[in-house]
Chains A and B, each alone.
Chain A
Amino acid sequence: MRFIKLKLKNFKPYYDRPGEPQEIVLFDAERKDKNISLNIGPTGNGKTSISEAILWCLYGGDSYYPNWEELVNTLSIEVAKQKKENEVNISVELVLEMKGEHYRLIRSGSYNIKTGQKVEESELSVIHNGVPEDPTGFIGNHFPTLTLMKYFVFDADDILKKFEENQEGTIRDHINKFAGVEILDELINSLEKVMGLYNGDIHDIESQIHGDIADKIKEKEKDKEVKKEAIRKLKEDGQKLEKEKKNLFEVSPSPEVKKFSELVNKRDNLEKKIVELNKRFIESDIISNMDLLLLDCVVDDTMKKLNQKQTTKEEFEISTTVIKSSLEKDYSGLFFDEKENTHLIKKGARIWNEDLDDIEKLSLESGEGIKSLSINIFGNYKKQIDELNKDFKNDKKDFDGTMKELMKVRNEIKKIGDTTKNKELKDKYEKFRKFEKQIVEKKNLQEEIEEEIKEEIEKEIKELRDQLERDEGQEKEIEQIEEKKKATQILLDISKKTREEFLDDLLSYVNKTASEFLRSTVKDTHRFHSIEIDSNYKFKVKQKNGKALEERQINRGNLQISMMSFFFALSKFLGKQIPYIIDDPLLRLDPGHDKRLIEQLSKTSDQLIFHMIPGKEYTTDSFNWLKPYINIQNWLYREKYIGIELISYAECKDAEKIVEYDINKF
Chain B
Amino acid sequence: MTYEPFEGEKSVRTVRLKKDEKFFKKAVKKLGFKKEIDLVTFCAAIALYKEYKYKTLEKKLLTSAKKLVGIESFDKKDLYDLVILEHLGFKENRLKEFEKYFYTGFNILKEWFEENDADANSEIERFCGIWDFITIGNYKND
Chain A positions within 8 Å of B, measured between CB atoms, are: 274-275, 277-278, 281-282, 286-288, 290-295, 297-299, 301-302, 305-306, 314, 368-370, 373-374, 377-378, 381, 395-396, 399-400, 403, 407, 411, 455
| B contact residues around A407 at 8 Å (CB) | 141-142
Give bound CA distance, A281 to B32, whole Å.
Answer: 10
Determine whether B44 belongs to the interface, using a CB cutoff of 8 Å to chain A. Answer: yes
| B contact residues around A314 at 8 Å (CB) | 1
Give bound CA distance, A433 to B133, whole Å.
Answer: 30
1/0 contact string of B25-64 vs chain A (CB within 8 Å):
1000001111100100110111011001100000000000
| A contact residues around B2 at 8 Å (CB) | 368
Give bound CA distance, A223 to B34, whole Å.
Answer: 28
Say how far A581's CB is from chain B's closest CB, in angstroms: 55
- Please give me the residue from chain B that is nearest to A274 by CB atom: B122
Contact B86 A305 (CB under 8 A): yes
Contact A291 B42 (CB under 8 A): yes
Say how far A444's CB is from chain B's closest CB, in angstroms: 10
Determine whether B83 belongs to the interface, using a CB cutoff of 8 Å to chain A. Answer: yes
Contact B124 A381 (CB under 8 A): no
Give bound CA distance, A411 to B142, whole Å.
Answer: 9
Say how far A608's CB is from chain B's closest CB, in angstroms: 55
Give bound CA distance, A374 to B81, whole Å.
Answer: 10
Determine whether B125 belongs to the interface, using a CB cutoff of 8 Å to chain A. Answer: yes
Contact B41 A291 (CB under 8 A): yes
Instruction: List B residues 94-123 near A (Cβ within 8 Å).
Output: 121-123
Give bound CA distance, A629 to B35, whole Å.
Answer: 73
Contact A378 B82 (CB under 8 A): yes
A288-B34, A297-B52, A411-B142 as given contacts; A282 in contact with B123, CB under 8 Å: yes
Contact A288 B87 (CB under 8 A): no
Contact A301 B87 (CB under 8 A): yes
A-B contact pairs, 9 of them (CB 8 A): A288-B33, A290-B45, A291-B42, A298-B87, A368-B1, A378-B79, A378-B82, A399-B128, A400-B128
Contact of A291 among B25, B45, B82 (CB under 8 A): B45
Say how far A303's CB is from chain B's closest CB, in angstroms: 9
Give bound CA distance, A395 to B123, whole Å.
Answer: 12
| B contact residues around A297 at 8 Å (CB) | 49, 52-53
Give bound CA distance, A377 to B79, whole Å.
Answer: 7
Say how far B122's CB is from chain A's closest CB, in angstroms: 4
Instruction: List B residues 1-33 near A (Cβ within 8 Å).
Output: 1-3, 25, 31-33
- 10 smallest beta-carbon distances between A and B, as pairs: A291-B45, A294-B45, A278-B122, A294-B49, A302-B87, A281-B124, A291-B41, A278-B124, A291-B42, A407-B142
The main secondary structure of chain A at its interface with chain B is helix
Contact A369 B82 (CB under 8 A): no
- Please give me the residue from chain B that is nearest to A440 by CB atom: B121
A274-B122, A297-B53, A395-B124 as given contacts; A287 in contact with B32, CB under 8 Å: yes
Contact of B82 among A274, A275, A302 (CB under 8 A): A302
Determine whether B90 belongs to the interface, using a CB cutoff of 8 Å to chain A. Answer: no
Chain B positions within 8 Å of A, measured between CB atoms, are: 1-3, 25, 31-35, 38, 41-42, 44-46, 48-49, 52-53, 76, 78-79, 82-83, 85-87, 121-125, 127-128, 131, 134, 141-142
How many inter-chain contacts with C-beta < 8 Å in the A-B complex? 100
| A contact residues around B124 at 8 Å (CB) | 274, 277-278, 281-282, 395, 399
Contact A274 B3 (CB under 8 A): no
- Please give me the residue from chain B that is nearest to A275 by CB atom: B122
Contact A373 B3 (CB under 8 A): yes
- Please give me the residue from chain A that is nearest to B141 by CB atom: A407
A274-B124, A411-B142 as given contacts; A396 in contact with B131, CB under 8 Å: yes
A298-B49, A302-B82, A381-B79 as given contacts; A290 in contact with B1, CB under 8 Å: no
Say how far B74's CB is from chain A's closest CB, in angstroms: 12
A291-B44, A378-B82, A411-B142 as given contacts; A368 in contact with B122, CB under 8 Å: no
Q: A278-B123, A377-B78 are in contact. List 4 more A-B contacts (CB 8 A).
A: A274-B121, A291-B76, A370-B3, A399-B124
Contact B134 A294 (CB under 8 A): yes
- Please give me the residue from chain B that is nearest to A295 by CB atom: B45
| A contact residues around B33 at 8 Å (CB) | 287-288
Contact B125 A274 (CB under 8 A): yes
| B contact residues around A302 at 8 Å (CB) | 82-83, 86-87
Contact B52 A298 (CB under 8 A): yes
| A contact residues around B134 at 8 Å (CB) | 294
| A contact residues around B127 at 8 Å (CB) | 281, 286-287, 290
Give bound CA distance, A403 to B38, whole Å.
Answer: 27
Say how far B129's CB is from chain A's closest CB, in angstroms: 10
Say how far A320's CB is from chain B's closest CB, in angstroms: 16
Say how far A169's CB is from chain B's closest CB, in angstroms: 38
Contact A374 B82 (CB under 8 A): yes
Give bound CA distance, A277 to B31, whole Å.
Answer: 15
| A contact residues around B48 at 8 Å (CB) | 294-295, 298
| A contact residues around B32 at 8 Å (CB) | 282, 287
Give bound CA distance, A396 to B3, whole Å.
Answer: 38
| A contact residues around B3 at 8 Å (CB) | 368, 370, 373
Give bound CA distance, A298 to B49, whole Å.
Answer: 7
- Please give me the residue from chain A that is nearest to B134 by CB atom: A294
Give bound CA distance, A403 to B122, whole Å.
Answer: 12
Say how far B69's CB is from chain A's closest CB, in angstroms: 14
Say how far B36's CB is from chain A's closest CB, in angstroms: 12
Say how far B55's CB is from chain A's closest CB, in angstroms: 12
- Please give me the residue from chain B that is nearest to A395 by CB atom: B124
Give bound CA distance, A395 to B122, whole Å.
Answer: 13
Contact B52 A301 (CB under 8 A): yes
| B contact residues around A293 at 8 Å (CB) | 45, 131
| B contact residues around A275 at 8 Å (CB) | 122
Say how far B134's CB is from chain A's closest CB, in angstroms: 7
Say how far B126's CB is from chain A's closest CB, in angstroms: 10
Contact A374 B45 (CB under 8 A): no
| A contact residues around B1 at 8 Å (CB) | 314, 368-370
A295-B45, A314-B1 as given contacts; A396 in contact with B123, CB under 8 Å: no
A301-B52, A301-B87, A374-B86 as given contacts; A399 in contact with B79, CB under 8 Å: no
- Please give me the residue from chain B that is nearest to A370 by CB atom: B3
A370-B1, A455-B25 as given contacts; A294 in contact with B79, CB under 8 Å: no
Contact A287 B83 (CB under 8 A): no
Contact A403 B125 (CB under 8 A): yes
Contact B128 A295 (CB under 8 A): no
Give bound CA distance, A301 to B128, whole Å.
Answer: 25
| A contact residues around B44 at 8 Å (CB) | 291
Give bound CA distance, A373 to B81, whole Å.
Answer: 12
Contact B35 A295 (CB under 8 A): no
Say how far A319's CB is from chain B's closest CB, in angstroms: 14
Most B-side CB within 10 Å, residue of A282, A295, A378, A411: A295
| A contact residues around B141 at 8 Å (CB) | 407
- Please give me the residue from chain A that is nearest to B43 by CB atom: A291
